[in-house]
């Protein structure tokens, strides 16, 4: 794992944005795996800013999000579709047909998972996957105990994850019980991974990632075996490690 230590959250976002912008600008076509949550919000601001100022084009980019809540439609303000639209897609010149997220309101969730997995494979796989790190080591919505061989699947969300994500909802009762997520093997099959870790709340998780053993009890630990991963951490997280 290549570790980049930066001074603060803004620097983390700028650094990650520079990596993505360079790849997008150099590529004839590129498949980006995208994440939601608090961590990438600043990064998306930099991508939007760059697109508006420097006109970096995303016409040749296809996007595949990591996950979506079960039961929330794309126009629900708490869905990940909505988040992506608000924070990134709305401002960019991506073709709508090149934007992909799991369909959380599919009536056939299991078929939806298979289709999403095939969709990624049929497009040649993810070239660059962006990830955040859950406090319990989850990546995507792959909670501790998920098989490293897992493909896109439906998960029952941990109470700790529902509690952490309840900050985006009016109450924890509104946080869905399930989500569709790329599996750990789906994520691991990406050609390149960019993992962003920011803030004091992630100190224990990043310590365990760097110092702990590789175990399904801590899903992110498998990333240590990935041949092309960069982890960017900011001082709020690294002061202690």
Catalytic residues: 67, 136, 138, 143
The number of residues making up the chain comes to: 241
Measured from the CB of residue 26, what is the shortest distance to ligand F6R in angstroms?
26
Binding of residue 208 to ligand F6R (CB under 6 A): no
Measured from the CB of residue 5, what is the shortest distance to ligand F6R in angstroms?
18
Binding of residue 37 to ligand F6R (CB under 6 A): yes
Closest C-alpha to 232, from 206, 204, 201, 200: 206
Measured from the CB of residue 128, what is the shortest distance to ligand F6R in angstroms?
15
Out of 17, 19, 30, 36, which residue is the one contacting ligand F6R (CB under 6 A)? 36
d(CA 46, CA 23): 15
Comparing CB distances to ligand F6R, the nearer of 58 and 219 is: 219
Q: What is the footprint of ligand F6R within residues 145-164 (CB under 6 A)?
A: none
In contact, 169 and 69? CB cutoff 8 Å = no
Comparing CB distances to ligand F6R, the nearer of 62 and 162 is: 162
Comparing CB distances to ligand F6R, the nearer of 57 and 147 is: 147
Out of 33, 102, 104, 132, which residue is the one contacting ligand F6R (CB under 6 A)? 132
Q: Which stretch binds ligand F6R (CB under 6 A): 25-33, 51-59, 135-143, 203-211?
A: 135-143
Measured from the CB of residue 206, what is the shortest distance to ligand F6R in angstroms?
12
User: What's the chain look like in SS3?
Assistant: CEEEEECCHHHHHHHHHHHHHHHHHHCCCEEEEECCCCCCHHHHHHHHHHHHHHCCCCCCEEEEECEEECCCCCCCCCCHHHHHHHHCHHHCCCCHHHEECCCCCCCCHHHHHHHHHHHHHHCCCCCEEEEECCCCCCECCECCCCCCCCCCEEEECCHHHHHHHHHHCCCHHHCCCEEEECCHHHHHCCCEEEEEECCHHHHHHHHHHHHCCCCCCCHHHHHHHCCCEEEEEEHHHHCCC
User: Binding marks (x or -) toward ligand F6R, 51..90, rule CB under 6 A?
Assistant: ---------------xx-----------------------
Comparing CB distances to ligand F6R, the nearer of 64 and 141 is: 141
Comparing CB distances to ligand F6R, the nearer of 61 and 205 is: 205
The Cβ-side half-sphere exposure at 71, using a 13 Å CA radius, reads 8
Q: Which stretch binds ligand F6R (CB under 6 A): 37-45, 46-54, 84-92, 108-116?
A: 37-45
Query: In the complex, which residues of this chain contact ligand F6R (CB under 6 A)?
Result: 35-39, 66-67, 132-134, 138-141
């Amino acid at each position: 794992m290549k570790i980049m230590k930066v001074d603060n959250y803004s620097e983390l976002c700028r650094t990650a944005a520079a990596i993505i912008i360079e790849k997008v600008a150099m590529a004839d076509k590129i498949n980006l795996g995208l994440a939601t949550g608090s961590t990438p919000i600043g990064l998306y601001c930099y991508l939007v800013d760059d697109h508006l100022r420097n006109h970096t084009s995303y016409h040749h980019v296809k996007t595949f999000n990591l996950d979506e809540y079960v039961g929330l439609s794309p126009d629900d303000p708490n869905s990940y579709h909505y988040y992506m639209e608000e924070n990134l897609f709305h401002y960019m010149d991506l073709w709508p047909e090149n934007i992909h997220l799991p369909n959380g309101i599919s009536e056939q969730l299991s078929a939806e998972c298979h289709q999403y997995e095939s969709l990624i494979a049929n497009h040649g796989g993810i070239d660059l996957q962006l990830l955040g790190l859950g406090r319990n080591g989850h990546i995507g919505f792959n909670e501790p105990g998920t098989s490293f061989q897992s493909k896109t699947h439906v998960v029952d969300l941990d109470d700790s994850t529902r509690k952490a994500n309840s900050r985006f909802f009016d109450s924890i009762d509104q946080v869905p019980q399930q989500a569709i997520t790329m599996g750990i093997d789906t994520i691991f099959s990406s050609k390149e991974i960019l993992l962003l870790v920011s803030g004091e709340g992630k100190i224990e998780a990043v310590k365990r990632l760097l110092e702990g053993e590789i175990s399904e009890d801590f899903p992110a630990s498998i990333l240590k075996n990935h041949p092309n991963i960069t982890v960017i951490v900011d001082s709020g997280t690294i002061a202690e490690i």
